[in-house]
Structure 1
Amino acid sequence: MTAPTQYASVRYLVDDVGTAVDFYTTHLGFTLHTSAAPAFADVVRGPLRLLLSGPASSGARATPTDVATAGRNRIHLVVDDLDVEIDRLRRGGVSFRSEVVSGPGGRQILLTDPAGNLIELFQPARRLAAGATATS
C-alpha cells in the first residue's frame, strides 16, 4: 500500500510521451520527474504523480476487453480562478471538451491531453466562514 507521504499515481496511456510531457509541463504546471522516453515518463504536481505510458511501455500492454473503452475518469486539478486558467490555456492553443459547468460545489471545465485523456479544471465555490452571513 502506498504510504500517505508518497505520491498518488495515475497512469495515462498516451500516443507520444514527449508530446504528453510538453503538454502537462507547459500548460498545467507539472514538472518532469523521470523520463525513459519514448516508452515512459512521469510528471508531478503537488502529491500527484502522472505516469505517461507510451505504446512501447509495459503499462500500455493489452487491457482486458471488458475495461478497454475509455470511461469518464479524469484527473481533477483545483485552480484559484477558472476564467484566468481558461484564457491562459486558450492562448496556448488548448481546446476544451465542455463548456464551464456550475454547481453548488463550484465550477468546472473539461479538456483533454494530446492522447484524449480527460482533465477537469475545478474552481471550488467560495465558502462562508462559520457564523458569517452573505452580507458580511
Structure 2
Amino acid sequence: MTTPDEFANVRYLVDDVAAAVHFYTTHLGFTLRSNPAPAFADVVRGPLRLLLSGPASSGARATPDESAVPGRNRIHLIVGDLDAEIDRLRASGLTVPGDVVAGPGGRQILLTDPAGNLVELFEPAAH
C-alpha cells in the first residue's frame, strides 16, 4: 500500500503519450518524471503522479466489460483564481469548453486532455 509520504498515482489511458506529456507539463504545471518508452510516461505535480499509458503499454490493456462503466472520474487540481486560469489556458490556445459551475464549496470547470480524460480545475469558496 502507498505510504503517506509517497505519490498518489492515477493512470490515464492516452492515445498519444507525447501529446499528453506536452498538455500536462505545458498547461497544468506538471513535471516530467520519466518517459522510458514512447508507450508510457509519468508526470508529477505535488503529491500526484499521473501515469500516462499509451496504446502499446501494459497498463492500456482492455478493462473487463463489467468494470468499464463510463464514470466521470477526473483529477482535481486546486487553483487560486479560476478566471485567471481559464484566461491563461485560452491565451495559450486551449479550448476551455463549458461554463464555470458554482456551488457551496467553490467554483469549477472541466477540461479534457488530448485523449479525452477529464481534468477539473477547482477554486475553493472563501470562508
* TM bucket, shorter chain: over 0.9
2:90 maps to which residue?
90
Paired residue secondary structure (1:62): coil
1:113 maps to which residue?
113
1:99 maps to which residue?
99
Q: Tell me the CA shift for residue 36 of structure 1.
A: 2.1
Structure 2: distance between partners of 1:121 and 1:111: 8
Higher relative contact order (CA 8 A, sep 6+): 2
Paired residue secondary structure (1:109): strand
The structure having more radius of gyration, on CA atoms, is 1
Percent of pairs identical after alignment?
74
Residue 93 of structure 2 aligns with an amino acid whose one-letter code is: G
1:53 maps to which residue?
53
Q: Tell me the CA shift for residue 71 of structure 1.
A: 1.3
2:29 maps to which residue?
29
Q: Tell me the CA shift for residue 37 of structure 1.
A: 3.3
Q: How many residues align?
A: 127
Q: Unaligned stretches of 5+ in structure 1?
A: 128-136
1:12 maps to which residue?
12
Structure 2: distance between partners of 1:37 and 1:91: 32
Q: Tell me the CA shift for residue 115 of structure 1.
A: 0.1
Do the aligned partners of 1:17 and 1:37 also contact (CA within 8 Å) in 2? no
1:38 to 2:33 alignment: no
Q: Which runs of 4+ in 1 moved over 4 A?
A: none
Structure 2: distance between partners of 1:21 and 1:58: 18
Q: Taking structure 1 as the reference length, what is the TM-score of the superposition? A: 0.90
Q: Taking structure 2 as the reference length, what is the TM-score of the superposition? A: 0.96
1:130 maps to which residue?
none
Do the aligned partners of 2:8 and 2:48 also contact (CA within 8 Å) in 1? yes
Structure 1: distance between partners of 2:29 and 2:85: 11
